[in-house]
Amino acid sequence: MKSNTRAIFASNRNPSRLKRLKRSVRFAAAAVLPSAILLLAPPSIRAEEVIERDIRTQYERIRLVQVVDGLQNPWSLAFLPDNRMLVTERRGRLYLVDDGDRTEITGLPEDILAIGQGGLMEVLPHHDFQNNGWIYLTYSRTENRQTATTLVRGRLDGESLVEVEHIFTQDRVSGPGRHYGSRLAWTADGHLLMSVGDRGAQPPRAQDLGDHAGTLLRLNDDGTAPDDNPFSGDEDAHDEIYSYGHRNIQGLVVDPETGDIWSTEHGPRGGDELNLHHPGENYGWPIVTLGLDYGTEGEFPGSQARTMEGMVDPIYEFLPTHAPSGLAMVTTDRFPAWQGNLLAGGLRSERIRRLVIRDNEVVHDEELLLGTIGRIRDVREGPDGNIYVLNDIHDGGIYRIEPYD
């Protein structure tokens, strides 16, 4: 048993080997338990499993625990007021997780097209969920094999989503598969932020205020546009747009103290960005980019500069390529040295970047969980003060980062 346990900790950069070793340890442990105890164990509840017992980061000692396994390409994680979790799978399934036991939620829209990067994506409860029961979901909605980033809401009633209504769909459908955006976040004044990617095939759409592609939207909770949005009343612009010139925002969080809106965004080859959002501003894509063309590693087609007057530069460029995903801000005192830091998940990089911000500048960047659980899709701070992480693999799971003690 001891040698197998050490092998698990030594194999954290090889997920398939790690999985086989964990199963062998569980089998060996079960074999030595008295049969009477085995009969008492509830079969539907899965015990939490320590993956890394003592990880020494620069300022905190942490433990990594797997909470749930067996998820197929999970995309988003959210918490209900009673600490239960909601988690989406890109193929079109929503689960309610209670103490490690997951239940599939029925009643989801039937027009979800899971292809390429598309499918069922974000889940977020209403900020007043306790009183209204609303759950918000984003997905790639299909129309004759074309797709559009879409927002729906429904009320959670036991194991079903009821009263489901489409409340926003981007104005143009496109060929399926790429750059949907789809992150959601609530502002302090109760408005809903939603990212929409440039959809990949026609990057200049991100510069067109008459197109939702390549934007960050600010919505009322019913999907309509607030009257005080920056382009409200402009006949040449969509009222819902808050900022534009974005390639594909995949991480989004609002600072609960300052109200600052932070996002992480995919560049092309390189050029992954951390941005601080201001109403009505142009963030440059594809006219301005720090990234390169995929095929030639020369300038991206249509790019004119790395920076340009009148367009907002990123606060930070992730180097090397990060392929950013979920973004969280540490507010808990569970990790006192990390308070106020941003935790930026990475897909291709298979790590979390801990960013220390001073006066809207990144002054320190630390890598966490490098290669430990593979592609990281989402990062969330839980109501218990711990950090929760999803990995984007076929046999994915929910992981908890907690203080070592």
Which residues are annotated as catalytic?
A: 179
Task: Identify the bridge partners of residue 61 per DSSP, sorted by sequence position.
Answer: 56
Name the E strands within 211-280: 215-219, 241-244, 249-254, 261-265, 272-276
Residue 35 phi/psi, 5-degree rounding, is -60, -30
Our CA dihedral for 252, 293, 282, 355, rounded to 10 degrees, sits at: 40
* Distance, CA of 50 to CA of 66 (rounded, Å): 6
* Distance, CA of 398 to CA of 377 (rounded, Å): 10
Residue 45 phi/psi, 5-degree rounding, is -105, 125
Q: Which string of b and e fits 171-183 if b means at least 16 CB within 10 Å?
A: eebbebbbbbbbb
Q: Estimate the crossing angle of helix 15-32 against helix 2-10, to 10 degrees.
A: 160
* Distance, CA of 264 to CA of 322 (rounded, Å): 10
Residue 2 phi/psi, 5-degree rounding, is -65, -45
Sequence-ordered list of residues with C-beta below 8 angstroms from that of 215, at least 6 positions apart, any chain: 195, 196, 206, 238, 240, 241, 242, 243, 244, 246
Q: Order of strands, edge to edge, in the sheet holding 342-346?
A: 324-329, 342-346, 352-358, 361-368
* Distance, CA of 128 to CA of 134 (rounded, Å): 8
The answer to whether the beta carbons of residues 216 and 198 sit under 8 Å apart is: no
